[in-house]
Homo-oligomer: A and B are copies of this chain.
Amino acid sequence: MKKADLIFTNATILTMDDEFHTHKPGALAVEGDSILAVGPQAEILENYQSDNVMDCENKILMPGLINAHTHVPMTLLRGLADDLRLDVWLMGYMMPVEREFVSPEFVRLGTKLACAESIRSGVTTFVDMYYFEADIAQATADAGLRAICAQSILKFPTPDAASYEESLKAAEEFIQAWKGHPLIIPAVGPHAPYTCTDEILQACADLAIKYDVPLHIHLAETAGEVENIRKEFGMPVIPYVKKRGIFDAKVIAAHCVHIDEGEMRTIQHAHAGIAHNPSSNLKLASGFAKVKKMLDVKVNVGIGTDGPASNNDLDMIEEIRLASMVAKCESGDPTALPARQTLAMATSMGAKAVHIDHLTGSLVPGKRADLILLGIDKLHNSPNFQRDPDGIYAQIIYAAKSTDISDVMVNGQWLMRDRELLTLDEDELIAEAQDYAKKIDTFLIEREQSVLSKLIAIGGAMQQESFEVQAKVHVTDPDSIIEALEKNSVEVDYSRHYHEYDTYFFFENEDQGRLRYREDEFIDETGEIINVRGRLTLVGVTREDAFDHDVMLSRSRYYAPATHSLRFYREYFEPQAELDIEKDRKRYKIKYRRVDFYINVDTLIKPDLGHFLEVKSRTWSREDAEKKSRIIAELIEYLGASSEAAETEDYIEIVESHLRKA
C-alpha cells in the first residue's frame, strides 16, 4: 500500500485523457502537487491509502478548466461601456481609461478579482495578456492559480512602457524572473499585427524562442484587420505573421475568426494553438469563427472568455456552452462540437493549444493536481439519464452552471471548498473594486462633459490659436477670377484643387463649440483623385472685431488627424445634430503687394449656394490687420469682384442662415 496525501473516492471521474476514460465509482490519489493515481475505486483503494479521504458522492471529478485567452485585470472595467463598436469601445473608452488608471496596483486588484471569479467558475489555468504582467503574475501566484502571463508589446506607448523597446526589455526581464515558477509561465505578447510592426513581431518571436516560452497574440479577429493586412502586404494575416517568423515560437493565437482552411493548416503544421472566444466575437460582432473546420483540420483549439470588459464575465461554463452551440449553427451541423469534444477544448485539447499539456488538462498520473468537483444533481440539471455514455458530458456542456462547481484544487492546493474561497477575500475585493469604479466614473463623467477632452482622449489634438483677416464675397463667374489670378500681376506660389466633404457636429451645450470632420480629396489636373485626407477640427466660438470692409478674427481651434471613420466619431461624440457641406475648392497661395494671402475660389455644391471668393491672411496685431484688410479689399476688386458685399461669416454660418430661411 502506497501512501497518498489525499484520496478522492466515490466520484464520477472524467479523466479527459486521450481515450476519454471515465470511472464510476472512481478514485484519485494526490501526492504533493501531482496526481499519483486515478482509476476505478476498487483498484485505487487496493493500492493506495491516505489519512485524508474525501467522499465525492454525486459529484463529478474532472480536470480544471483552461481559459485560453483573457485580460484578467479588465475585471475592473467590466460594464464600463457596452453596446458599442469595437473601435469606439477600444479607442474611445478602454484605452483612454487604461492610460489614466492602469498601474501595478490596478492590475493586482483586477487580477485578484478575476482569480476569485475564475476559481468560482472552475478555471484552474488562464492565459493572460496585459500590462505590468509581473504584477499580474504575482497576484495570480498569490491566489494559487496557474497562468500563462504574456507581457503586452505594442508599437504605441502603453501604460507600462513609453516605447516598444522598453516593453521588450521589460518582457525579457519578466521572463528571466519568472521562468521555472511552479504556477506561472511567463510569455511574450505582441498584441496584434495591426498594433505591432514587422520589427516588433520578429523581436517577439526571437525572445519567445530564446527562452522557450509561449508567444501570445491576437490574430485575424475582425474582417477589417484582414482587409488592411491584405491591402498593405498582399496576403492574409496568417501568412503575413508566418513570414515574420512568429510560428517558430510556441504560438497561442487568440480569435482567428477570419482565417481560411489554408491558414488553419499553417497553424496546425506550426503546432500553434487557437484560443477561440465566442462571447467576445459575438458581442463585438467580430464574426462566427469556423471552429468545426479548425477541428476538422486538427488544429488544437482552446476556449477563452477574452477580457471581462468585452464578455462581460469570466464564466467558462457559459463560454464552453456557447462555443458548442455557435459552432453547430455556424457549420449548419448540429452534430458538430459534440459535448465531449467541447469539454476537451476546455481541458485536454485546451492544454495542448496553450502548450502546457505536460502539466495539466487531464487527470493522468504525473500531471499536476488541477481539478474540480461539480454536482449535476441540481434542479436545472435533473433528471440524469444513463443510456448514452456521452450524456454526462452533455449535462456539463448544455445545462450545468458555474455555481454547480463546489471545489477547486490547483497544483495540489485547495482554492475553493464547498463554494468558499480559501485564498482570496471576496468582500474586500468587491469593495476595493467599487472604489476604483467611482474614480473611473468621475474621470469619465468629467471627460464626457467636454467635447475637447473627449477629443484629446482619443489620441490628442493640437491646439492652434490664430489671428487672421478674412473676407468672403459671392461671385457669379469664378472662371474670370481664376483667369485674373493667373495673370502676372499676382505672384502664385502654388495652387491646389480639392473636393471637400465637411460634416459638422453640434452639441446641446453650444459652449462646447462645433466639431468638423473634413475629408479632402486632392484632385490632379486630369480630374483624378490622387489622395484623401481626413481631419478633425474643434472650433470654439469665434470672437471677432469688425473693420470697415472685413475683419480680424481670433480663433481657437484644435486639430487632429481623423484616423477613424465618420461613423466612429458620430458614435463616440454622440452629437445632437449634424450638418453636411460639400464644396469644390481651388486654392492659391499668392503674394500681393509683398503680403502672403490664401485665396479660395469655392463652389458650394451641397447645399447649392453658388460661387465664393475667399481671401485670408494671418496677422499678429490690430495695426497689421487693418493694413491687410485694406489690401484684401483692393485685391478683391482687382480680381473682378465687388468688395462691397464682403462678409466675414464661415461657410457653416452662411449655410445655417440659408437653411433657416428655407
Interface residues, chain A, CB within 8 Å of chain B?
75-76, 78-86, 89, 113, 116-117, 120-121, 279, 281-288, 311-315, 318, 322, 324-326, 328-329, 331-336, 338-339, 377-388, 390-391, 394-395, 398-399, 401-403, 426, 429-430, 433-434, 436-437, 440-441, 444-445, 448, 571
Contact = CB atoms under 8 A, between A and B. Distances in A.
Nearest to A333: B285
Contacts of A399: 78-79, 311-313
Interface centre among A315, A324, A380, A390 (most CB of B within 10 A): A380
B328 A282 contact: yes
Contacts of A333: 285
B380 A332 contact: no
Contact of A433 (B113, B382, B390): B382
A334 B434 contact: no
B334 A86 contact: yes
A444 to B, nearest CB: 5
A441 B385 contact: yes
A204 to B, nearest CB: 29
A399 B399 CA distance: 18
Q: Which of A287, A312, A426 has the most CB of B within 10 A?
A: A312
A83 B113 contact: no
A603 B340 CA distance: 46
Contacts of A80: 385, 387, 391
Nearest to A76: B383
A427 to B, nearest CB: 9
Given A379-B426, A382-B113, A433-B382, A83 B339 contact: yes
A449 to B, nearest CB: 11
Given A82-B394, A120-B380, A382-B433, 15 more contacts: A78-B381, A79-B381, A79-B383, A79-B391, A79-B395, A80-B385, A80-B391, A82-B338, A82-B391, A83-B335, A312-B395, A385-B437, A385-B440, A386-B441, A401-B403
Contact of A437 (B116, B312, B383): B383
A282 B326 contact: yes
Top 7 nearest A-B pairs by Cβ distance? A383-B437, A282-B325, A83-B338, A312-B398, A82-B394, A383-B433, A285-B334
A616 to B, nearest CB: 40
- Most chain B CB within 10 A, of A86, A329, A448, is at A329
A602 to B, nearest CB: 36
Contacts of A440: 385
Nearest to A328: B285
A117 B379 contact: yes
Which of A76, A78, A284, A444 gathers the greatest number of chain B CB atoms within 10 Å?
A78
A334 to B, nearest CB: 4
A334 B381 CA distance: 32
Contacts of A324: 283
Nearest to A384: B437
A382 B437 CA distance: 9
A504 to B, nearest CB: 23
A315 B429 CA distance: 28
Contact of A382 (B78, B387, B390): B78
Contacts of A429: 379, 382
Most buried by B among A334, A437, A448: A334
Most buried by B among A286, A328, A336: A328
Most chain-B Cβ atoms within 10 A of its Cβ — which of A82, A89, A326? A82
A76 B379 CA distance: 11
